[in-house]
Amino acid sequence: MKIKTISCKRVLSLGNYESRHVEMFADISEGEDPDVEASKLIEFVERKVRERVDLEIEVTDLKEQIADLKNELARLEKQKAILTEVEPDPDDIPFKSGEASNSSDFPGGF
């Protein structure tokens, strides 16, 4: 038997009822080993079917990192606001200086 053409089809499940299909055909020239050429085609199809998925995963990871960085930025801005808050002047007392009254509303003068 002489093999002239090989094909490889790969279906990759992406979840959520989605999948990716890649199918390729290759012609085998005289003198080429069908087993070797089939292995090359399988590796090529596997690489291609996952190529886009890997990019999608990278995008998802980058979006998660952006969300984490935004949360961290908000936390740091709150911390900065607390640290740069103006503290009240201890010499600015809101009542008249002088002696305190000795009178008490408690019976027995406590």
Q: Which of 15-24, 43-52, 66-75 has the highest mean pLDDT?
A: 66-75
| Full domain range(s) for residue 34 | 5-83
Q: How many domains does the chain have?
A: 1
pTM more than 0.95: no
User: What's the mean pLDDT when you consider all of the chain?
Assistant: 83
CB 8 within 8 A of CB 40: no
**Is pLDDT above 80 for 48?**
yes
pLDDT average, residue stretch 45-68: 85
Amino acid at 93: I
Amino acid at 2: K
The two structure tokens encoding residue 12:
């990759």
Any domain includes 77? yes
Any domain includes 64? yes
Any domain includes 91? no
* Greatest alpha-carbon span in the chain: 120
**What is the torsional sign of CA 79, 83, 85, 91?**
positive
The two structure tokens encoding residue 53:
């998925």
pLDDT of residue 14: 75
CA distance 100 to 107: 19
pLDDT of residue 99: 57
Any domain includes 44? yes
pLDDT average, residue stretch 47-76: 88
pLDDT of residue 82: 87
Q: Could you give the residue ranges of the DSSP H alpha helices within the chain?
A: 34-83
